[in-house]
Amino acid sequence: MTNQAFSSNQATLHLSADCEQCFGLCCVALPYGKSSDFAFDKSSGTPCPNLRTDNRCGIHTQLRQKGFKGCTVYDCFGAGQKLSQVTYAGKDWRDHPESATEMFDCLPVMKQLHEMMSYVNEMLHLPETSSIHSALQNIYRETERLTNLEPSAILRLDIPAHRAVVNELLVQASEMVRAKAKASDKEQSTSKTKKRTGRDFLGANLKGADLRGASFRGALMIAANLRNADMRSTDLIGADLRDADLGGADLRGSIFLTQSQLNSAKGSAGTRLPDHLNIPEHWL
């Protein structure tokens, strides 16, 4: 697989959720409990009462108002349509109930594979990681191969082991991307470049902070104040940004930031984002 093969938008498109091509799998397969994110309890394998027979959500435009904020921040990275149209060749669980449980069990596994592919694909488009593009291409191709296995084989996969291999490359890529920002920091005064360490940023006041080139991998940033913070070239893979205030923050060039993370946060029209991401409607 050549660099040119990854220069198109094809990979990006099939790694984005396309609900029109999905059997509403997330609305059935996934459980949730009554909370600020969901209006009531639902067990795994039970269709949400809001799911219509055409596999569309009956309250899609009112999810937040109806108490289903959690639905607005979920992203399958294209796993839903892959299972629906490829793995199960368009055979809906409604018409083929014998496959339903297996299909639902496959969704979390496929979602993790597609998420890994999305992160790797992002790194393949950056010039800073050119020296490891070959390795990134190989792991992308291998991960994609796993998504094409039969359902029984998908369910037998050792996802943590595969994720560890992928993560090693993603960490390396992250260091390459953030190196330039960190080098630039050295030219600034130390009072502006001090960065907090650790993973717990719950409610942290980082308003206006210079966070360029920082790593927030897996950080708990729930309700953190990041208004007007400079977060260019930051690593945000797995960061929990629920209710974090990103109003006016500069996230251009940040890596591994997803639309679902933004959807879970607060922000403003003045928040600057990477080109491939959009300002959520509830920010406006």
Domain CATH for 277: 2.160.20.80
* CA proximity to 162, closest of 146, 186, 148: 146
* Confidence check: pLDDT of 182 > 50: yes
Start-to-end CA distance of the chain, whole Å, equals: 41
Whether residue 107 has pLDDT greater than 60: yes
Instruction: Please give the pLDDT value at position 200.
Output: 87
Check whether residue 152 and residue 246 sit in a common domain.
no
User: Quick one: 238 and 164 in the same domain?
Assistant: no
Q: What is the pTM assigned to this prediction?
A: 0.90
Greater confidence (233 vs 190) lies with 233
Q: Is the pLDDT assigned to residue 42 strictly greater than 50? A: yes
Q: Does 69 map to a domain? A: no
Compute the distance between CA of residue 91 and CA of residue 96 in angstroms, rounded to an integer: 7
What pLDDT is stored for residue 75 in this prediction? 95
Give the whole-angstrom CA distance, residue 265 versus residue 244: 5
**Domain count of the chain?**
2
Residue 134, pLDDT > 50, answer: yes
Does residue 111 carry a pLDDT above 60?
A: yes
Residue 118 shares a structural domain with residue 171: yes
Q: How confident is the model at residue 8 (pLDDT cuts 50, 70, 90)?
A: very low
Does residue 9 surpass a pLDDT of 90?
no
DSSP 8-state assignment for residue 198: S
Kindly tell me if the per-residue pLDDT of 5 is higher than 50.
no
Q: Is residue 52 assigned to a domain? A: no
pLDDT at 284: 87
Residues 127 and 253 reside in one and the same domain: no
Domain that holds residue 115: 4-30+74-178
